[in-house]
């Protein structure tokens, strides 16, 4: 069709050589593990032909995208084996780093673990004019960060025990970077842009460089921040993204690593580095960056995106969401039920969603169809790093986070969108709810 970008994505079983000479059974999209980066242009129409060549039901969700509920790829858009699902929508995002992944009811954890995920990048005019590194694979690098548990014969069956399900989720011990063990990158430029996705099932990553070097965070989940923010660490919960700019002009090798943390240990970002340097965790070495040493000096823009002011007074109502765990994982006291619509939200009205974490561990709360803004955490304004566009926000234990949300353009009284904890073992075991936009 004219004016429509078309992508063919085929989901299938495969074998992947994570370790030399050994084939691990996996799932992938157009390849044996993970899928290709889908690059989109804001304002264009896109059609994705998703063919299910697996022997089981699946779905494919476009995480972070504003689109009609029927195109969302959530639990209601089941793709049966041997069939193809072809959603079509307009790209209404700002430039940013997004992703796609299986969202099959009760099987999201298993299918993402096996490999059904990939990155999506959106470009727009505002970002193109900033002079940011943007040559894919040269100075603009996608990083899908995950961790897995391998058996003695180097298979990675999805087998979260009862304890993992009821507690931290499935936490691996082998870090994978774009599906690679021991990843490295030969950098040829002085300034490198990394698009980092925490694509793990349930692990929080306290990302930093082993030499403690400083870098700039330039984007959060839904796009560029208003201004680059200088730091030496970024905490990413499952589902969250950040873009960073790293200065390599000193020619020294830079090792990007993460302190892996489960949700109970996950603490506020500013404390992460202290814990890491104190040697509390064995770090996951995600990427060794080897500069050629002939890079130019750093040029980082001073201002980037223009974002609307965040005003609580714009909201016409407040909805409360209570996350809890005990013998079951619940939101507002109930487990996910595909037959029950939990919230009916009017289109085009700004609301405050008040997320209260009653449990003793952190949960990343994700909302479909929108990019929201964080109003406050226990009454305190958000840190710069999360003051931009977000679709996933961590609620720390016993904390209340208020977000400003709004659902525009699309209504569907029958088909719901999801909100849920993005720790996939929690999601699959009930910490999810549904809302329609009318």
# residues near ligand C2O by CB under 6 A: 10
User: From the list ligand C2O, Cu ion, none, which binds 239 (C-beta under 5 to 8 Å, kind-based)?
Assistant: ligand C2O
Interaction mask 145-164, ligand C2O, x per CB under 6 A: --------------------
User: From the list Cu ion, ligand C2O, none, which binds 421 (C-beta under 5 to 8 Å, kind-based)?
Assistant: Cu ion
Taking phi over 0 as left and psi of -120 to 50 as alpha, with beta for the rest, 277 belongs to alpha
For Cu ion, the binding residues in 173-192 under the rule CB under 5 A are: none
Q: Tell me how far, at minimum, the Cβ of 345 lies from ligand C2O, in Å.
A: 16
Between 257 and 368, whose beta carbon lies closer to ligand C2O?
368
Among 33, 61, 258, 389, binds ligand C2O (CB under 6 A): 61
Nearest to 94 by CA among 73, 118, 59, 66: 66
Say whether residue 148 binds Cu ion (CB under 5 A): no
Q: Tell me how far, at minimum, the Cβ of 179 lies from Cu ion, in Å.
A: 21
Between 61 and 233, whose beta carbon lies closer to ligand C2O?
61
User: From the list Cu ion, ligand C2O, none, which binds 373 (C-beta under 5 to 8 Å, kind-based)?
Assistant: none
Q: Tell me how far, at minimum, the Cβ of 422 lies from ligand C2O, in Å.
A: 6
Q: Which two tokens stand for residue 75?
A: 């639990």
Between 233 and 363, whose beta carbon lies closer to ligand C2O?
363
For ligand C2O, the binding residues in 355-374 under the rule CB under 6 A are: 366, 368
Between 103 and 426, whose beta carbon lies closer to ligand C2O?
103
Q: Which two tokens stand for residue 90?
A: 């307009």
Q: Are 143 and 194 in contact (CB under 8 A)?
A: yes
Say whether residue 420 binds ligand C2O (CB under 6 A): yes
């Amino acid at each position: 069709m004219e004016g429509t970008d078309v992508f063919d994505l085929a989901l299938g079983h495969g074998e992947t050589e994570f370790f030399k000479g050994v084939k691990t059974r996996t799932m992938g999209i157009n390849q044996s593990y993970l899928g290709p980066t889908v690059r989109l242009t804001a304002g264009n129409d896109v059609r994705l032909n998703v063919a299910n060549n697996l022997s089981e039901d699946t779905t494919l969700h476009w995480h972070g995208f504003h689109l009609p509920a029927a195109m969302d790829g959530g639990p209601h858009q089941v793709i049966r084996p041997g069939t193809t699902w072809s959603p079509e929508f307009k790209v209404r995002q700002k430039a940013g780093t997004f992703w796609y992944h299986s969202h099959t009811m009760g099987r999201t954890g298993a299918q993402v673990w096996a490999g059904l995920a990939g990155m999506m990048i959106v470009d727009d005019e505002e970002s193109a004019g900033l002079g940011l590194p943007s040559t894919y694979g040269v100075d603009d690098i996608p990083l899908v960060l995950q961790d897995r548990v391998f058996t003695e014969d180097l298979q990675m069956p999805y087998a979260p025990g009862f304890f993992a399900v009821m507690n931290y989720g499935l936490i691996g011990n082998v870090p994978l970077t774009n599906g690679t063990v021991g990843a490295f990158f030969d950098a040829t430029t002085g300034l490198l842009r990394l698009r980092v996705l925490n694509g793990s099932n349930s692990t929080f990553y306290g990302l930093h460089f082993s030499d403690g070097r400083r870098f700039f965070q330039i984007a959060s989940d839904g796009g560029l921040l208003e201004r680059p923010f200088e730091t030496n660490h970024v905490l990413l919960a499952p589902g969250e993204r950040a873009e960073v700019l790293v200065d390599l002009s000193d020619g020294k090798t830079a090792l990007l690593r993460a302190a892996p943390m489960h949700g109970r240990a996950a603490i506020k970002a500013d404390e992460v580095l202290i814990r890491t340097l104190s040697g509390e965790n064995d770090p996951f070495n995600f990427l060794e960056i080897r500069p050629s040493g002939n890079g130019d000096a750093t040029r980082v823009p001073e201002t980037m995106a223009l974002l609307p002011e965040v005003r609580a007074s714009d909201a016409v109502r407040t909805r409360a969401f209570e996350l809890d765990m005990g013998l079951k994982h619940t939101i507002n006291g109930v487990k996910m039920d595909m037959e029950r619509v939990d919230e009916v939200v009017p289109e085009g009205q700004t609301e405050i969603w008040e997320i209260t974490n009653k449990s003793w561990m952190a949960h990343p709360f994700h909302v479909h169809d929108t990019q929201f803004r964080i109003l406050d955490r226990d009454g305190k304004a958000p840190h710069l790093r999360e003051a931009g566009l977000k679709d996933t926000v961590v609620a720390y234990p016993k904390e209340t986070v208020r977000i400003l949300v709004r659902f525009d353009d699309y209504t569907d009284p029958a088909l719901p969108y999801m909100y849920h904890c993005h720790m996939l073992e929690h999601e699959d075991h009930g910490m999810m709810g549904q809302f329609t936009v009318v």
